[in-house]
Structure 1
């Protein structure tokens, strides 16, 4: 059954307008997308959850109907954005993907009262797993009006053990074939803001033991890159730190599992949030 998506907005603590998309019926669940993503990219996951939850997908600042990142951009303002939407919607549960999962943890540390959190490959920097050595060249290429090459630099730099090993010419071809043009253009447009986002995660390298202060149950999820990607390994390390957590692996899915297979990930989120066996 197709459900209508409604669009709402709130003002965050600094006055910035933060939009969100809502669909479904039931207890509130907040989706926090990762970097280079917009709220609509998670419509499939929201639809998979809509028969059991009222799903609210935040449009993170710097994109869509939300205001700009702003001069004082940082984790603190993103956490405040999450709290503003949580308070406005009454969402009891949260799902975060990648950088959005990192922000979900940070919001919880600052008092966002989520009863349960599901996190897919959190973008938490552990032992340098969020590198930034690619960023200067990516910025230079953006300034030179070459967003496709800037994005290519980002993809190689963030995944040195996988895509980083491919020659630029080959990876350029793979990206053109694997990512539709509208999606590529979206990523190009969000890349400048993404550099700021990654810098926030990288600046907190190895401070992840602080998450031991969280007592809410957490479902950690990881795809096939659990051994050779920073985000995959972060999920494993976080299981040892979070006091009430479990890790589920999806060997057939990659880092974008929630967008590519929303039915599987949605079922796991629903079972966990409703306190059933994953």
Structure 2
């Protein structure tokens, strides 16, 4: 499968062995592991679906000269604990809150479903000053596709991982356009070959597709839970940068349009020629330095000064 379908999670050839790692305990006791690179103001990167911390290794490295970058594995991945039976959006926000408390970070970059989590965190945690969001799949009047989740769950329950991953990829419109013309059995075969290749070539710290496949269910739940919440962000105190690629699916642009219309302190940048995988490592179709450039500009600029009305 090609890199820009967001299902290639192998780390780049040059590892990130020479950096610190740590963990925090979330409110319910679940361990949340993270990687830390660089020096400067603290910035947390929150990955999206079918990803782990390693998916944004190159972006973290690109930002490390200007920031202390913290990249957690979200629940169910890598060095972090399981989702738990009572999983929901609130758990993800609690996990992020624990990391922000541990690191003193007040700035967040959230990707896709990680962007939804970051957005909800900014609405409920007063310590967050700025958030940058890359194409959060906020459903506007049902715009975000979720019907595929039922078939995906059924295929996962039967142990059909390749079929389930193809269902997720096609349902969320994450594959390259040519995949719309490729027979489903061939896509399943390509996925099985890709998983086998990962299994053979796995390096320390790799979180392969086989391990990530079950997590897609939980990201789908986050999308469902966030549906219909748009107006609740109209009073958001934090400054927001909305990022998107010109080649991304239309429903992600619908979400960005809607957020831009309601957020009080917002700016938006579209990255020409890029798609939903833009922030990821280069071997999966990303262009992390272009994304890093926008993040540096946003998180380094002087803070907005609130206007104070003089008494009459």
Shorter-chain TM-score above 0.5: yes
Q: 1:267 aligns with which of 281, 293, 302?
A: 293
Aligned to 1:5: 19
Aligned to 1:238: 259
Aligned to 1:208: 230
Residue 101 (1) aligns with residue 115 (2): yes
What is the rounded CA distance, in whole Å, between the counterparts of 2:194 and 2:268 in structure 1?
29
CA contact (8 A) 2:40 2:68 kept: yes
Aligned to 2:76: 62
**Residue deviations 1:165-198 (CA, integer Å, cap 9, x gap):** 4342464577689999439982342222221221
What is the rounded CA distance, in whole Å, between the counterparts of 1:3 and 1:24 in structure 2?
13
Deviates more, 1:201-210 or 1:72-81: 201-210
Pairwise CA distance, 1:212:
1.2
Relative distance call for 1:170 and 1:101 in structure 2 (3 A) is same
Instruction: Give the gaps of 5 or more residues in structure 2.
Output: 1-15, 281-285, 303-312
Relative distance call for 1:174 and 1:229 in structure 2 (3 A) is farther
> 5 Å matches for 1:63-102?
63-102=77-116
Aligned to 1:250: 271
What is the rounded CA distance, in whole Å, between the counterparts of 1:96 and 1:18 in structure 2?
16
> 5 Å matches for 1:34-53?
34-53=48-67
What is the rounded CA distance, in whole Å, between the counterparts of 1:185 and 1:107 in structure 2?
26
Task: Pick 1 or 2: higher relative contact order, CA cutoff 8 A, min separation 6.
Answer: 2
Aligned to 1:155: 169
2:226 is paired with a residue whose SS is coil
2:110 is paired with a residue whose SS is strand
What is the rounded CA distance, in whole Å, between the counterparts of 1:53 and 1:20 in structure 2?
15
Residue 144 (1) aligns with residue 158 (2): yes
1:124 is paired with a residue whose SS is coil
Relative distance call for 1:112 and 1:22 in structure 2 (3 A) is farther
Aligned to 2:12: none
Pairwise CA distance, 1:3:
8.5
Q: 2:184 aligns with which of 168, 179, 200?
A: 168
Relative distance call for 1:185 and 1:63 in structure 2 (3 A) is closer
Pairwise CA distance, 1:140:
2.0
1:88 is paired with a residue whose SS is helix
Question: TM-score, structure 2 length as denominator?
Answer: 0.80
CA contact (8 A) 1:9 1:19 kept: yes
CA contact (8 A) 1:49 1:270 kept: yes
Relative distance call for 1:83 and 1:112 in structure 2 (3 A) is farther
**Residue deviations 1:61-116 (CA, integer Å, cap 9, x gap):** 11111110001100001000001001100112110000000000111111152221
Instruction: Give the gaps of 5 or more residues in structure 1.
Output: none
Relative distance call for 1:199 and 1:4 in structure 2 (3 A) is same
CA contact (8 A) 1:62 1:68 kept: yes
Name the larger-Rg structure: 2
